[in-house]
A and B are shown apart, each in its own frame.
Chain A
Amino acid sequence: MKLKPQALLCPRPAGLYCPPGDFYIDPTRPVDRAVITHGHADHARAGHGVVAATPETLAIMAVRYGEDFAGRVEPLRYGETIERGGVDVTLVPAGHILGSAQAVLRWKGMTIVVSGDYKRRADPTCAPFEPIACDVFVTEATFGLPVFRHPPDSDEIAKLIKSLEQFPQRTHIVGAYALGKAQRIIRLLRQAGHDQVIYTHGAMARLDELYTGFGVDLGPLAPATVEKKAAFEGAVVIAPPSALEGTWVRRFADPVPCFASGWMRVKARARQRHVELPLIISDHADWDELTNTISEVRPEELWVTHGAEEALLRWSALNDIPAKALAIVGYEDEDDD
C-alpha cells in the first residue's frame, strides 16, 4: 500500500509536525525540536528546545531575541543533510530573505518540500530559490490572486529615483519591513547607482549590520535622528511601515511617503495608507511565480499553508493538481506591516 504523506508531515495546533522525525517546521508556539525556514518573527519564534536552521537564520534570531533564544542550535548550511528518526532533512534556498530556506523531507522514497515563504525573482541580498521535484509541495499563497503580478524591481526603483529628481527638496521615506525588505531596497538603490547616504530608522540598524556582516554591501548608511534634519532634504529614508503613521515622520519637511510592498499593486490599498509613491516590491511570490513554481516542481499533491488559498485551489483544479488548504493559524504577512 502506498505511503500517505500525512505519515511524514501533518498539521497540528503548533504547526506542521513530522511524526517519524519528531520535529516541527516553523512552529507558532514553543516546542522541543524545530526546523526554522527563515527569520521573520511569525516563523522564527524564541523558546524552542533545539533549533535547526541556516547559519544566517540563526544569526537573525540571535539579533532579534538574544543569544539564548533556544536551548541548542544546529546550523545547517544549504544542501547539508541531517537525519532525524530516519527522515533526511535538507535546507535549500527559498529566495525570500537572507538565509531563507525550503525544508526538504525525504523518507522511505517520499519527498515533501515545505517551501516556507519564497519568491522566484533575483534578489541581491539572498540565494535564489531552488526548485526540488517532490511528492508534496507545501506552498504559501500570500499573493494567491491573479491580480498580483509584481512588476520588475528595477522599474519600481526607477520610479523612486525619478521622483527624487522631480522633487529634490522632499524627503522620500520608504516604508519597508525591517528584516529583508529594507536591505533589499537599499541594495537595489545601490545597483541603480544611488550612492548617497541612506538614512535608516533605529529599528533596523542591527539588521543592516548583520546583512553587511554576511557580505551584503549596503553602502553609506546613517541613522535618521532628529539632529540631522537639514540632511534629509532630497534624501532617501528607510523606515518600518508603521513609523510612517506615527509622530516620527514629523522630523521630515514635506515628505513623500513611499511603501514597498506587493499589496501596493492594488490602488485602494495604497490610498488607504496615504501612500504617495507605491513601490510594488515584495519578498513573496506573485501569482505567476506561484503557479509557475507549482508547474515546475510538479507535485503529486499541493498543500497551501496561508494566504489567498481559494484562487490557488481553483487554479490547481483547472490544472489537475490535487490541492488542499492547511489554513495554518499564526502566520502573518510581513509585507503588510
Chain B
Amino acid sequence: MRAFAVLLDRLAFTPSRNAKLVLLADHLRSTLDPDRGWALAALTGALSFSAAKPAIIRSAAEARIDPQLFALSYDYVGDLAETVALAWPVRPGANREPDLSQVVDALLTASKHEVPKLLEGWLDAMDADGRWALLKLMTGALRVGVSARLAKQALADFGGVPVEQIEEVWHSQHPPYVDLFAWLEGRSERPSPNAPARFRPVMLAQAIDEATDFARYDAQDYAAEWKWDGVRVQAVNEGGRRALYSRTGDDIGKAFPDVLESLGFEGVIDGELLVMHGHTIGGFGDLQQRLNRKTPDAALMGKHPAGIRAYDLLMDGDEDLREQPFSARRGRLEKLVARAANPRLDLSPLVAFPDWEALAGIRADPPAGDPQLSEGLMLKRLDSPYVAGRPKGLWFKWKRDPHLVDAVLMYAQRGHGKRSGFYSDYTFGVWREDSNGDRVLVPVGKAYFGFTDEELKQLDKYVRDHTIDRFGPVRSIRADMQSGLVLEIAFEGLQRSTRHKSGVAMRFPRVNRIRWDKPSREADELATLEALLSALARPARGLSGNS
C-alpha cells in the first residue's frame, strides 16, 4: 500500500503529462504483481467497491476523534477523507500495513457490515499518506489526473511497445492484468486480443501542410469528406455483444444506450458520434450534455438523441477488412449502412472535387446543411489500408480556419515546469453593458498557448507591470476602457455554457496574435460572440421519435 500511496501523492502534485508517465512507468517497474495491476485499475477507475460508503468513514472518525477537534480540523482542511487521514489517532499495537492487493481483495468481497472493522484496522496500520490513498480508493475519488489513455501510454513506455498494441489487447485483459505484465516484461507471448466485441486501434490523420502537401500529392488519389464535430467512435457488434469505444479504447457505451440499440449489424464501424435529429445533426454543445452524463435519462435522450455517422468499416461480419484499400472498405460500408436501415446510423457522404483548388473553395464555403457545422475536411488516400496510429501520407485533416475574437487580458496565472516563473495562463474577456449601461469586461475564456517564447516574456512583463491585485498564484491585470492589452484569440467552436458568467465557452482557445497596437476599448463585444453562437447552434427541431 505504501508504494501506491507514494505514487498517488506524487501524481496529485505533478501537472506535466511526461512527468506523470515517468512516475507511472517507474511504479510499474518497481512494484510486483498483483499490486501494480490493482494500482493501474484504481487509477483508471476500473475498481468500485459497493460496500464502501463515505458515511462509514465519517462514523469511524467520529468514534475515534473528539467532535470539537474533528470539526476544527475539517474546517481547516476542507476535505473529509484528507481530514480523517491526517487527524486519525493511531492506536498502538496495530497490525502490519496491508498490501494494496489485500485491501482490494477484502473490499471486493466484504459485506457492508464488515467494512467498518476492516477500515479501522487499516487506518491504524498506515501512515497519513497511506490512509489518504485508502480512503480515496474506497470512495473511488482518486482524482490525480490519470486517464485510461495515460495509463495505457505508461504501459507502452514500460514495455517498450507502441500504445496501439496496448489498446488492442486492453479489453481482453482484466485487473490485476498479470498476463499483460508478463507479456510486457518478455516473459510470455502477447495475450490474445480476441475478446468478444473488442476494440481495434484506430487510424488517425495528420494535419495537412498547405504549403507543401498539395504539390506533393495528386488530388485523384484522395477521397474527401467532412470532418464532423462530434466524438470519434468505434461501434462494435460481434457475436451478439455490442460496444461503443472512444478513439483510445475507452468503453463509453453506458452513456449511449440509444446508440447501442441501433447497432443492428454485425461488424465494426468507425464513425462520428453526433446528436442526430433524424439525419440532421446537432452542435457539439448538445453532444457535450450527453457526454457529461454517465447514464442518461429518457428526457435527455429524447432532447438530444445520439447516432453515428459512419465513415469506415473494419470488420464486415467476421471478415477483417483492414488490409483492404479505403475504396473497397467504403463500398462495403455503404452496403452495410443501407442494409441496417436505422435512423441512428447514417453515412458520412463523400465530397466530390476535381482538384485541390476546387476543394479549397468548398472548404471555404461549405454548402447549406450539416457541412456548415463541420470542422473542415478529411482527405483519405483511396488505396490506404486501415493502419493503427498516425501513418504518413495516407489520411489528412484540413481544418477550417479558426474563429477570431479580440479580447482583453484580465487575469494571469503562473505556469508550471518550463514555464515556472512566468505568467503563462491568461484569462481574457470581452465587453458588455451592465445594468447601469456601463461597459464592463466579462471573462469568456482562458488560453495558455499560441505564443512564442519571446512573446511569453513580453506578456509576462506586461502582467507584472500592470498587476492591480493578487489572489494566490493569480494576478488581476488592469483592464478598462483606458488601459488594457488586447489579445487576438483563435478558437474552434463556441458553446452555450451555464458554468461561465458570460454564458459562452470556447473550444481550443489560443493566443493568435498580441495586439499591442489596439486600444482595449476597441476589443470585441459579447454580442459578437452571441451572434456567432446563434449562427453555429441549430435549434433542436421537433423531429424526435422515428423520423
Contacts and interface: CB of A to CB of B under 8 A. Distances in A.
Nearest to A258: B13
Nearest to A146: B87
A106 interface: no
A270 B416 CA distance: 14
Given A146-B89, A254-B418, A274-B416, A265 B128 contact: yes
A10 interface: no
A318 B69 CA distance: 11
Given A249-B420, A270-B13, A272-B473, A151 B414 contact: no
B72 A275 contact: no
A247 B421 contact: yes
B83 interface: yes
A22 interface: no
Q: Is the interface of B mostly helix, strand, loop or mixed?
A: helix
B340 interface: no
B157 interface: no
Contacts of A252: 420
Contacts of B473: 245, 272-274
Given A246-B421, A272-B473, A273-B473, A146 B65 contact: yes
Given A167-B19, A167-B22, A250-B422, A146 B13 contact: no
A257 interface: yes
A149 interface: yes
A268 B19 CA distance: 21
A86 to B, nearest CB: 41
Interface string B50-92: 0000000000000001101110110011110011001101000
Nearest to B417: A254
Interface centre among B13, B14, B127, B422 (most CB of A within 10 A): B13
Contacts of B77: 147, 266, 268
Interface residues of B, number: 38
B472 interface: yes
Interface in B86-134: 86-87, 89, 127-129
Contacts of A266: 76-77, 82, 86
Contacts of A311: 68-69, 72-73
B83 A318 contact: no
Contacts of B418: 253-254
Interface string A259-289: 0000001111011111111100000000000
A250 B420 contact: yes
Interface string A134-152: 0000000000011111010
Contact of B13 (A265, A277, A314): A277
A268 B22 CA distance: 24
B39 to A, nearest CB: 17
Contacts of B129: 151
B26 interface: yes
A113 B77 CA distance: 32
B420 A145 contact: no
Given A274-B473, A311-B73, A149 B86 contact: yes
Interface of B: 6, 10, 12-15, 19, 22-23, 26, 65-66, 68-70, 72-73, 76-79, 82-83, 86-87, 89, 127-129, 414, 416-418, 420-422, 472-473
Given A255-B417, A308-B72, 9 more contacts: A250-B422, A255-B420, A266-B77, A267-B13, A268-B78, A271-B13, A272-B472, A311-B68, A318-B66
